[in-house]
Structure 1
């Protein structure tokens, strides 16, 4: 179905996502994920003061509107966006609606790291878009794994951040149909597990 390589798998999944984003069922699925996100925010209110989100590319689900509503209705909450460093790690900077964003070399809109009014943030929760995703059982615990674009930015960043912040919540954002079986793709040793997946089925933990 997807060929034999992660590259061809990504290409197929991205083509499917483009088709899905133009379909009639997309809006219903989007609203289901927004509702699950609202429940997640309510359930983790005490734990999560700052959330790192993303500027969507290639038909990724856009969470900016519901997260802005959440942050603006709660004066003590902070949003942040990632900035890709040359060493392929991510830093996160405070983001507010209307901020000037700069396209990266990958075409992703990023905050200006030199803006003195938008300091660097160490988020309590990172929402990470998935090209595909999978799950595996270890004892009674389910691990979730992300297939991304292949750059390794999130894996390097999470490995570093978790050492300093063990309670960091890393939540993948994806659709049910993006779930992969072992025969299609398996996580590698350098892949960092996600703590949960937020899909149209709700929060999977």
Structure 2
């Protein structure tokens, strides 16, 4: 484990992401990642009717413009943002451009569950930003894992949602350089695997 602490690893990765976001290579990586998402939406996305996105913080890549364009393609397409419950699970509420959001306990803009104009929904696809990511092979199949901010919100939520919807698509969003090896970090038994991982190099399954 990096410095004997996942917390230290997260801090280092967030510092690297901040430096990367202000560097010369960021624009090309951003364009490659958005192109990959656009390709996914134009093909496999045709059967998806609701996507939960994230509100970008701490130099996370901003996918909102791309997803708003996808939403405009069909009146049936819906977008949602997560609301962090006190029990550290997430609920998802429909989001439309221009909605007033409230700051969560962690300072992340999120929908208000008291907004009766926006219904709660269970998304077909969830996009999750990665602080870091790794892969492992079991029974000849590659699995991808996300290192997040340490709150466990997504792991708890995915475990619950997958029981009711085995077809749920969970896609991690990250950069190539964020890949970790076993000496740095390994997924734990409570970690939920990603169905897909999107980086600037393409979509990993």
Is the TM-score greater than 0.5? Answer: yes
1:28 deviates by 0.9
TM-score (norm 2): 0.97
Query: What is the aligned partner in structure 2 of residue 86 from structure 1?
Result: 86
Distance 1:167 1:108 in 2: 28
Query: What is the aligned partner in structure 2 of residue 69 from structure 1?
Result: 69
Distance 1:159 1:43 in 2: 27
Query: What is the aligned partner in structure 2 of residue 171 from structure 1?
Result: 171
Q: Deviations over 1:97-149 (max 9, x none)?
A: 00001111101000011111110011000000000000011123211100001
Query: What is the aligned partner in structure 2 of residue 200 from structure 1?
Result: 200
Which segment is superposed worse, 86-95 or 3-12?
Answer: 3-12
Q: How does 1:119-138 map to 2 (within 5 A)?
A: 119-138=119-138
Query: What is the aligned partner in structure 1 of residue 27 from structure 2?
Result: 27
1:168 deviates by 0.1
Distance 1:157 1:80 in 2: 15
Aligned length: 205
- Checking the alignment, whether the CA contact within 8 Å between 2:126 and 2:171 is kept in structure 1 is yes
Distance 2:166 2:51 in 1: 16
Distance 2:127 2:45 in 1: 15
CA RMSD, 1 decimal:
1.1
Distance 2:134 2:145 in 1: 5
- Checking the alignment, whether the CA contact within 8 Å between 1:2 and 1:12 is kept in structure 2 is no
Query: What is the aligned partner in structure 1 of residue 58 from structure 2?
Result: 58
Show structure 1 runs of 4+ deviating over 4 A: none
- Checking the alignment, whether the CA contact within 8 Å between 1:137 and 1:143 is kept in structure 2 is yes
Q: Deviations over 1:47-67 (max 9, x none)?
A: 311000000111111111110
- Checking the alignment, whether the CA contact within 8 Å between 1:34 and 1:66 is kept in structure 2 is yes
Distance 2:188 2:120 in 1: 30
Q: Look up the SS of the partner of 2:47 in the other structure.
A: coil
- Checking the alignment, whether the CA contact within 8 Å between 1:47 and 1:124 is kept in structure 2 is no
Gaps of 5+ in 1: none
Query: What is the aligned partner in structure 2 of residue 109 from structure 1?
Result: 109
Q: Deviations over 1:143-201 (max 9, x none)?
A: 11000011000000000000001100000000000000011000000000000100011
1:77 deviates by 0.6
Q: Deviations over 1:64-103 (max 9, x none)?
A: 1110111012222100000000000000000000000111
